[in-house]
Amino acid sequence: MSKRIGFVGVGRMGANMARRLHDLKYPVTVVYDVYEKAAEELAKEIGAEASKKLARVTELADVIFTVVSDDAAMHKIFAKNGDSLLINAKGRIFINTATISPQTHIEVGKLCEEVGAEAIEACMASSIPQARNGTLYFMLGGKQEVIKEVEPILKDMSSSMRYCGPLGSAARVKALVNMVMNINTAALAEGLGLAKALNLDLNMIREVFSQTGANSRVLQTDGEDMQNREHTCFFSAEHALKDSGIALNLAKDVGLNLPLAQATYNQYQRLVKKGFGQLDKSAISELTFPDRHGLDKD
């Protein structure tokens, strides 16, 4: 692969994606982050340049992954004025991986086309370990011929990929994935919280759940953490709130009432307002267990 690769956003996910490609001898030439120290440390580790300018990323890379936090951050890096990835971007391919609104993906795609660049979605349904070892699950959106051009890179970062449709489609699918995941997380927190209040053995409860209709992927990833109050962040409560909000906005657009999604959003909103947004989404259990700081009291 002769295409030079850049990363914009090198937090835990972006940095580990860059490390994975570096391990496979891809030319990761430049990294950028609003937290300059993060970019500098990663650049030193993998032999890339830590750029302080977005335009420099476009200059030094042919394929650029963007791994940013929200719609506002996405609009900022693709701004029409000032420092921007759009400067001299003709011929570049942007692979946008963030969980943001479908409309923002579509808008960014149009901006890229205006300057002769291309943008695709590669939304991820995985976490930090999968980013590091190349077993991400990608939901792809955009022009299929553009995806084909960067497919070898994506295959080396993932265990599976699914094409969802034109730009915006992958973001819609990802919103549904995270909506259901967040609902499952909130439901598990309530189940374990009630079990605790009933003085049931939580190890036994988790085993029973795993063998019955109460089983879920969330039980595997979050159940023990909820029990042990281990909320080291793999997917933050703050992101859970944002993503549930994206799904609710989509539902509003088509006139659907989603009471479970709304209730889950409300719970994560409470958690974030109480200052726990940077903890893992499993911290929603702090609102449901009867003996935890009284966080169930507003």
Catalytic residue among 3, 52, 76, 174: 174
Q: Please, where are the H alpha helices in 159-236?
A: 169-197, 202-210, 217-228
Per-residue tokens: 83: 């420092």
User: Residue length, the chain?
Assistant: 298
Yes or no: say if 9 and 30 are a contact pair by the CB < 8 Å rule. Answer: no
Whole-number CA gyration radius for the chain: 20
- Strand locations in the chain (E): 5-8, 28-32, 49-50, 63-66, 93-96, 118-124, 136-141, 158-165
The upper half-sphere exposure of residue 194, i.e. CA atoms within 13 Å in the direction of its Cβ, equals: 5
Q: Does the annotation count 174 as an active-site position?
A: yes
| Other Cβ atoms within 10 Å of 159 Cβ, number | 13
**3-class DSSP state for residue 261?**
helix
Per-residue tokens: 75: 């609009």
The strand pair at 118-124 and 136-141 is best described as antiparallel
Rounded distance between C-alpha atoms, residue 219 and residue 253, angstroms:
31
Residues catalogued as catalytic: 174
